[in-house]
Amino acid sequence: MVEYRWPEAKRLIGTRIDRLDGPVKVTGAAEYTFDVRRPGMLFGAVLRCPHAHARITRLDLGPARRLPGVKAVRAVHEVGDEIQWALDEVVFLAAETEEGARDAVAAIGIDYEVLPHFVDAEAKDRAPETSPGEEETEGDPDAGFARAARRVQGYYGIPTIAHQCLESHGNVCEWDGDQLTTWSSTQAVSALPGQFAEALGVPASSVRTICQYIGGGFGSKFSPDRWGIEAARLAKDAGRPVKLMLERDAELTVAGDRPSTYAEVEIGVAEDGEVTAWRSRSWGSGGLGGSGSPPIPYVFQFPHRHHAHTSVPTNVAGSRAWRAPNHPQACFVTMAALDDAAAALGLDPLDFFERNLAYTNPRLQPIYREELRIADERMGWRRRWHRRGEGEGHLRRGLGLSIHTWGGRGHRSACELRVHPDGGVEAKLGSQDLGTGTRTVIAIVLAETFGLGVHDVTVKIGDSAYPPSGGSGGSTTVGGVSASTRRAAQDALAELFVKVAPHLEADPAELEAVDGRIRVAADPSRSLSWKEATAKLGVTPITATGQNPGPGELNDSGVGGVQMAEVAVDLETGIVRVERMVAVQDCGLVMDLETAESQVYGGLIMGISYALYEEKVMDPVTGRLLATDFESYKIAGYGDVGRLEVHMMQGGSHDPRGPIGLGEPPVISPGAALSNAVANAIGVRVPYLPMTPRRVLDALEEATTEVTVKGLEGGGR
């Protein structure tokens, strides 16, 4: 009956629309989990083990229990237990005030027997154990290398980094009889009640999770975590609500990380730049669970290739999904190695990448080609590119590029929609808005479908009492909620047309909803205002539920993006300065151009951050994280990002694919593009991210290329 599809003519979709929750965020009125205050609420605090590997030999909770104001104490380890990473939780407690809770933690008596630890994943040969990961061989790598004119080798390393959510992980838990309500800083509103219920041994129907606003997740907030479960238990024990948010050092240390990757790569290249063979081995760690397996080589599926990955467990809390899991690491290794191969042949990497595009996903090849053309034009690449290391003086400029891909098909989602007789439109989804613009996108779909404005509709999300939607991970949210909402809205509109058609002496199929009116498409003079039309419903609202997946082709998967970077590097100080970055990104049908661009800007900036500053530096002696605050775990600041340009691919062949998520793709390439730009500027590869001044100077010292030395002499100040 109803043909579910995205409209041909779009009034709102793809335009710039201010995010609807902007005003409550800029005024401080938006209530985050950290801001929730409940009557009688207690504050939780945690005793954490300071050692990377230790056995508990004494645990005395008595002094904490005896302090006034302490209402509940729960040990999650006992004497004899082994602790496997620093800052793991040992005791949870709740007290009347936060300061009092910290006093109580300090009062606990505890001793440890310190055990040997291992935290240096790069030195895998010294690891107590390693586990082989995926190994893949395609074609005949030996034959490919035999055909190569040059063999180019390289070594590359990208460290573990943190999510560093500004709102730390945490929950407020409150029981009303056997009903639990959690206010949780979560990326998965609909998935949390079941997880709480399973751990607590209560029916899933007795748990409700609320998250209207979340201060960052980036892949690290899909579970209640032990601290959430224990907050619920403390609340039960004390008979009062408990708030437990992680301290900053714990947020950085135990709330997840992006696994490291170290890789040795060898590439065979023909004179014309065709890659004839690829061989690599990589290893890395995200903590005790080891690491994921980065898809190396990335984007380019060379026909003759071999890759093996080894996972290295360390005495570090486990890794979690970090925007585009495994892709930034694979992208950095692959694009840096390819850039080094191009440099060895004296080729412009833009030509080199284009020469090898035939080895990328055939569906994406035309997208990459067009994006490379646009990026070239915006950056002035072909006008301004120079050979690696060419330049004069101590300040050297360089260009680098990278390409990336991601899936991003819309997840499962249900949208419950009501069109009220008074004209009100109300959608409920158990989804969440991470700051990506989920609320706004849902409103755009409703308003577009009904011919209304985005402020004429009400979007309710962030509550597990609403119909379930998937967690916001893997760039799946916009596709999922847009599709479920569109189906519900098309159903509701069809029903409204049936009610209204007799009043317009028309057939329902002849009607359309445009500019706040329901009208006969062929004769717009026969029309009713939206409210006149909905008044025909009498006293009963229209209800419709849309599902994703569902009928009609509203979603697709697989996007491509290109990024180019320009840097200036000071050969004397080693300081890298980002001058410009250009991002050209495809995401199928752009829903809100403004928030879509914001995702890409954000990806570029987070990428600059991990390319130049971020690293979870572990102390090999104590096994502890040395970077436990913003002074030592550095992220990019306002003045560090240079000029950023974003171009979203729209129209043409992109729009009919429907919306594809955008949270992951733009954060994949910046590390590679910036590393390549630095190599182009200074003449040598800085093998590691982040490219700190020391690493830049080390790379310069190791290299003794004529070009660099000559340039220095010729330059001067």
Site for other proteins in 137-196 (CB under 8 A): 164-168
- Those residues whose C-beta lies under 8 Å from the C-beta of residue 391, and which sit 6 or more positions away, are 397, 681, 711
Which range binds other proteins by CB under 8 A, 23-31, 264-272, 441-449, 552-560? 23-31
Cis previous bond, 549, omega within 30: yes
- Provide the minimum distance between the beta carbon of 203 and other proteins in the complex, in angstroms, as a whole number: 32
- Provide the minimum distance between the beta carbon of 105 and other proteins in the complex, in angstroms, as a whole number: 7
Considering only residues 634-653, where is the footprint of other proteins by CB under 8 A?
Answer: 635-639, 641, 643-648
- Provide the minimum distance between the beta carbon of 395 and other proteins in the complex, in angstroms, as a whole number: 17
Considering only residues 87-106, where is the footprint of other proteins by CB under 8 A?
Answer: 97-99, 102-103, 105-106
Task: Between 99 and 507, name the residue whose CB sits nearer to other proteins.
Answer: 99
Can you tell me which residue has the tokens 């700190």? 692
Which range binds other proteins by CB under 8 A, 129-137, 211-219, 395-403, 454-462? 211-219
What does 409-454 look like in DSSP terms, one character per residue?
----EEEEEEE-TTS-EEEE-B---SSS-HHHHHHHHHHHHHT--G
- Provide the minimum distance between the beta carbon of 10 and other proteins in the complex, in angstroms, as a whole number: 18
Q: How many chain residues are in contact with other proteins, going by CB under 8 A?
A: 76
- Provide the minimum distance between the beta carbon of 21 and other proteins in the complex, in angstroms, as a whole number: 7
Here's the x/- map for other proteins, 242-261, by CB under 8 A: it reads as -----xx-------------
- Provide the minimum distance between the beta carbon of 599 and other proteins in the complex, in angstroms, as a whole number: 8
436 part of the interface to other proteins, by CB under 8 A: yes
598 part of the interface to other proteins, by CB under 8 A: yes
Query: Helix (H, G, I), strand (E, B), or coil: what is residue 704?
Result: coil
Applying CB under 8 A, among 12, 73, 75, 107 the residue interacting with other proteins is 107
23 part of the interface to other proteins, by CB under 8 A: yes
The conformation of residue 488, written as its DSSP 8-state character, comes to H
Task: Give the Cα separation of 675 and 690 in Å (integer).
Answer: 9
Q: Give, rounded to a whole angstrom, the gap between the first and last alpha carbons of the chain.
A: 75
The first and second tokens of residue 282, run together, are 């990589």
Taken in order 665, 668, 669, 674, the sign of the CA dihedral is positive
Applying CB under 8 A, among 501, 606, 612, 684 the residue interacting with other proteins is 606
670, 324 Cβ separation under 8 angstroms: no
Phi and psi of 247, rounded to 5°?
-70, 160
- Provide the minimum distance between the beta carbon of 393 and other proteins in the complex, in angstroms, as a whole number: 22
24 part of the interface to other proteins, by CB under 8 A: yes
Which range binds other proteins by CB under 8 A, 257-265, 414-422, 433-441, 468-476? 433-441
Applying CB under 8 A, among 119, 434, 445, 452 the residue interacting with other proteins is 434
Cβ–Cβ contacts within 10 Å for residue 692, how many? 18
The first and second tokens of residue 583, run together, are 């991002």
351 part of the interface to other proteins, by CB under 8 A: no
Task: Give the Cα separation of 284 and 292 in Å (integer).
Answer: 8
Task: Give the Cα separation of 624 and 637 in Å (integer).
Answer: 26
Task: Between 247 and 274, name the residue whose CB sits nearer to other proteins.
Answer: 247
Query: Helix (H, G, I), strand (E, B), or coil: what is residue 327?
Result: helix
- Those residues whose C-beta lies under 8 Å from the C-beta of residue 446, and which sit 6 or more positions away, are 417, 425, 427, 452, 457, 459, 485, 489
Buried b (16+ CB within 10 A) or exposed e, 225-239: bebbbbbbbbbbebe
344 part of the interface to other proteins, by CB under 8 A: no
455 part of the interface to other proteins, by CB under 8 A: no
Q: Which residues pair with 155 in a beta bridge?
A: 264
Which range binds other proteins by CB under 8 A, 407-415, 434-442, 465-473, 567-575? 434-442
Which range binds other proteins by CB under 8 A, 173-181, 207-215, 288-296, 384-392? 207-215
- Provide the minimum distance between the beta carbon of 430 and other proteins in the complex, in angstroms, as a whole number: 19
Which range binds other proteins by CB under 8 A, 262-270, 308-316, 405-413, 596-604? 596-604
- Provide the minimum distance between the beta carbon of 213 and other proteins in the complex, in angstroms, as a whole number: 6
- Those residues whose C-beta lies under 8 Å from the C-beta of residue 199, and which sit 6 or more positions away, are 224, 229
Angle between helices 670-682 and 593-612 in degrees, nearest 10 = 50
Task: Give the Cα separation of 559 and 545 in Å (integer).
Answer: 29
The first and second tokens of residue 94, run together, are 């709740």
Task: Between 231 and 636, name the residue whose CB sits nearer to other proteins.
Answer: 636
- Provide the minimum distance between the beta carbon of 478 and other proteins in the complex, in angstroms, as a whole number: 14
Phi and psi of 667, rounded to 5°?
-95, 0
- Provide the minimum distance between the beta carbon of 242 and other proteins in the complex, in angstroms, as a whole number: 14
Which range binds other proteins by CB under 8 A, 137-145, 170-178, 448-456, 603-611? 603-611
Task: Between 402 and 628, name the residue whose CB sits nearer to other proteins.
Answer: 628
524 part of the interface to other proteins, by CB under 8 A: no
Q: How do strand 576-585 and strand 643-648 relate by DSSP bridges?
A: parallel
Q: Where are the alpha helices (DSSP H) in 296-437?
A: 327-345, 349-355, 365-379, 381-384
Applying CB under 8 A, among 1, 26, 539, 621 the residue interacting with other proteins is 26
Burial class (CB in 10 A: 0-12, 13-18, 19+), 98: middle
- Provide the minimum distance between the beta carbon of 462 and other proteins in the complex, in angstroms, as a whole number: 13
552 part of the interface to other proteins, by CB under 8 A: no
602 part of the interface to other proteins, by CB under 8 A: yes
Applying CB under 8 A, among 12, 19, 268, 627 the residue interacting with other proteins is 19
668 part of the interface to other proteins, by CB under 8 A: no
76 part of the interface to other proteins, by CB under 8 A: no
Task: Between 412 and 577, name the residue whose CB sits nearer to other proteins.
Answer: 577
- Those residues whose C-beta lies under 8 Å from the C-beta of residue 362, and which sit 6 or more positions away, are none
Considering only residues 215-234, where is the footprint of other proteins by CB under 8 A?
Answer: 215-216, 218
Task: Between 96 and 237, name the residue whose CB sits nearer to other proteins.
Answer: 96
Task: Between 126 and 638, name the residue whose CB sits nearer to other proteins.
Answer: 638
108 part of the interface to other proteins, by CB under 8 A: yes
- Provide the minimum distance between the beta carbon of 91 and other proteins in the complex, in angstroms, as a whole number: 9
Helix (H) or strand (E) holding 262: strand 261-269
The CA-based angle 184-190-191, given to 5 degrees, is 85
Task: Give the Cα separation of 513 and 506 in Å (integer).
Answer: 14
Task: Between 38 and 503, name the residue whose CB sits nearer to other proteins.
Answer: 38
Task: Give the Cα separation of 439 and 445 in Å (integer).
Answer: 10
- Provide the minimum distance between the beta carbon of 170 and other proteins in the complex, in angstroms, as a whole number: 11
Q: What is the CA radius of gyration of the chain?
A: 28
Which range binds other proteins by CB under 8 A, 262-270, 396-404, 471-479, 601-609? 601-609
- Provide the minimum distance between the beta carbon of 37 and other proteins in the complex, in angstroms, as a whole number: 7
Cis previous bond, 297, omega within 30: yes
62 part of the interface to other proteins, by CB under 8 A: no
CA distances from 212 to 39, 256, 464, 529 (A): 19, 23, 11, 33
The CA-based angle 97-100-102, given to 5 degrees, is 115
Considering only residues 28-57, where is the footprint of other proteins by CB under 8 A?
Answer: 28-32, 34-35, 37, 47, 50
